[in-house]
Structure 1
Amino acid sequence: MRLIAMLHLTPHGSASYAACPKHAAQCSMAACPLRTAFRTGPAQGKGIANSYQRTQTSRQKRRFACNAKKSKKKRAAERLEERPVDEDLEAAAQEPLDVEEQDLADTTDTTYEALDEEPVQQQQQYQSQAAAPPSQAPSSSGDWVKLGALGLGAVALIAAVVFAFRQFSKRQLPEEEKKMTHKQLQREATQRLNEFMGQIRNQSSVDLSAKNLGEEGCAYVAEALAFNDRCMAADFGKNGIGQMGITQLLEALKNNDTLETLVIDTNSIGDDGAEAVAQYMAGDARIHTLNLSANNIGDRGAAALAEMLKVNTTLTHLELSGNVIDYDGITALSEALTDNQALHSLHINDNYVGGLGARVLANALQKNSALQELYIKGNDMGNEGIKALCSALLGEEGAVAIAEFVKKAKKLKELNLYMNDIGNGGAYKLAEALKGNSSLKVLDIGGNNIGPEGIKVLLESLRGNLTLKTLEIGYNPIGEEGAKYLADVVKYDLGIEVLKMGWCKVGENEGAKAIADLILFNTSIATLDLRGNSLNNPGAGWISQALKEHTNERLVELDLGYNEIKDEGACAVAQALKANPALAPKDVKIGSNYITKFGQVALEEALDMVYEMGGQREIVIHF
């Protein structure tokens, strides 16, 4: 019989035996073969224990050895079961153990149980350590949610920090940049102002308009005018100058005896600034030309300037256009004109003169013998105001005076009487003055309510005048009869190059025929203005017929606008241009009519045809 046992070293170094795991539950039974073996050979077991005690093996080797012995024990048990059991051995196994043997057996059983359990626990520990993921990795979906929340929190924190930094940068950095930019602008502005002062000191005429000087800039450069004996004209217009700026400028001018022209237009000096200017000009000032237009000057400022005009004897040119001068201001200026005999030119355009103011002004002008130029457009004076002014300035009586002047002015080259309502009576007087004149080149009598009789007399006085080159008779109701007189004289007996007769009520019949006859036979006209004469399609047909056959090589511009011409008339003009491409006018204006796409296409085809057939002659047609 073989003994199957395993030696185990206790922590105290003594040897003990324990049954294999298979027999751990049976070690207390009397019939266990292992107990029988211990009972028959205890000395031999002790020797083996001493031998194993001297050998210091590792725990892992003992585990493998235990497993090997378990296998041997199993095989031995199987062989024992196959063999007949010795009766003596079975009896011995059934006998009870003494105390020493019982203690040794209990110790051995305990040791085997511990030895069997310890490798299993270590193996489980190793497996758990090997299989466990890193401590930071999540072990469930809840952990992933927590990790994501932490990540989002970190991103939000970073974004908040970046946002706070940007807000700080927006508040702090731009302020520093603004400070640096402001200093740089100050240096540049000072440099520019010094350049302006150099110009004032070294030049006789200085243009500082629209330089964005402002109040401070004006005060800065004004110092250059003090004790200045070189600058004679200075323009400070469009610079945002107010009361402070004009005050500083006038202070500098108190020590200036050279400046003659001062322009301060389009600023904002107001009534207070105008009063300051008036106070300065009332003294011994040398300024001849003063421009205070568009400065928001009202009646109070105009009254102050009027008081200045009563005592000033040097100012010859005063501009007050574009202000807010009303009836009271115009009344004050009119009273000043009755006393002032130095002012030659007065500009009061675009104010609020009105009809009553025009009457007051007209009465004052009858007593003034010095004023030569009066600009008064855009004042809503109405018919009555215009009549009053015309009666005072010109009218038929004025025309008589002008006629006397023209007779004596042997070198007069240009006479402009536009919109003065001289009428037929004034035209008669003017015609007498123009007889035999050989110097006049430009005559403008437009808008004077001259009818057929007046234009007939006037043109008869000009017959044979080859000096006159420009004649403007527009806005006079000469009608068909007047058009006939005009064509008869201009056709052969005048050397007119520019003839303007817009809105003269020529009409589409006899008047249009007369003008067509003029185009056909005249050889001197280069520009012909026929706007607003109600030519319509028939009149356009007569003009087109003349354009087909005319021989005037000088005709370059023809204006047929505002004549109620439709597609039929446009096609007639197009055919005329095609028929005479070599002498087609280079600039044909036919806009502001009733021409549709059909007529426009016809005119465009004519344009191409003139280019191809007229030796690449280029013309322009204005629809």
Structure 2
Amino acid sequence: MPELIDQTNDRGMTALMAAAHGGHAAVVTMLLERGADITCRDDRGVSALDYAIRENKQEVARALLDCGAKVDALKKGLNIESATMLAKIGAEKGIMLSGMTRDQTEADFSNQGLEPADAILIGSDLKLMAVLTTLRLDDTKIGAVGAKVIAEALKVSAVLKHCNLLKNNLDIESATMLAKIGTEKGIMFSGMTRDQTEADFSNQGLQSADAILIGSDLKLMAVLTTLDLSVNRIGDEGAKAIAEALKVIAVLTSVDLRVNSIGDDGAKAIAEALKVNAVLKNLSVAYNSNIVGVAAQQLAAAALGSLSLEVLSGVPIKELREDKLTELNLSSMGLGPTEGIVLAELIKFSAVVTTLVLGSFLFGNNIGDEGAKAIAEALKVNEVVTKLWLNNNKIGDDGAKAIAEALKVNAVLNKLYLQYNSNMGDAGEKALRDAVMGRSEFVLEL
């Protein structure tokens, strides 16, 4: 009888599979009672339980599980509804769904293309595991839906302390929820460990939510001194999270935030952090071209007012204050208005810097009119700078006119290079030429 009952059709399907696919619970029960083989799979490798789960047939799934059907549901393309149904049964019957075992201490699902439904299954299993301390779910596709499920499981876990969830396209809400749980339970979400002294996340495609998780972890780390987040997309929300961490962490001395799409709100948050942070020595916010206006001014003021900051985006604050440099080349550093303002304040009363290079024929910076105006104010009182390169700096007419006004009172500067500032028009160029008219030895390149 069992042999007959397990005969297959042209697709390799048994009667049990067909009944499971159709959701006929009574037929499934009858077939099981008559000895139908629950381990059989069709030509595509699909079992009766797989069919029941995919079609969201809860009664059928229960019957098959009661008869000992093995669950192999991870990475099977389940939808949220089916995964939720299976998780409910798993919780009721104490059945593991993801392939993990109760005695595991570590589990690695990273870079496996998991979907939100897979996270639901893993979340169900986590509630049954008493010794798991480390879980990797980084670089998957569980998204915000999956992250929220994992977060709920973490609330009841007593031993899990490392749960890497970076690079999952989380939204701000889910990342913030996870960060709150992390703070309350001491759980790390970025893959960092408490004994790390350096962390390099550069050029990893990280977004705002990832930075929120990293910011949460930073508050749990007592020896980390160097953090590199350059060339990502953490944006304002990510910058705010890092800034909040900077307010409380007492050992981090170097933070690199270059090329991160940070704008005014992020810059203002960093400025507030600098007011209370007493240990940060090196900070870079270069190549964040959206930091302008009031935000740039506030960040510059905070950097200059910091008691610990020695370098901002390559600008050597400490060395300039100590008059250790006679020449300074900062071309092609991605400097913006913030750095232009800081630099201007530092050279204003410098007694030794004679040459300042902020641009070149091929590459420059992005100090713009704001930075140019600040440099102009410095030139009005500086008595030692003789050569100044401002090529390729997106300086327009307003910046050019400000520099022209400074040249009327500055008698020391004799070489000024302003080529390749495409925003500068005839009015700006005329103002500059008029300002140095009659100074035969003055070199002005436009």
Structure with the bigger RCO (C-alpha within 8 Å, sep 6+) is 2
The answer to which structure has the higher helix fraction is 1
TM normalised by structure 1 equals 0.32
Structure ID, larger Rg: 1
Give the TM-score, by structure 2 length.
Answer: 0.41
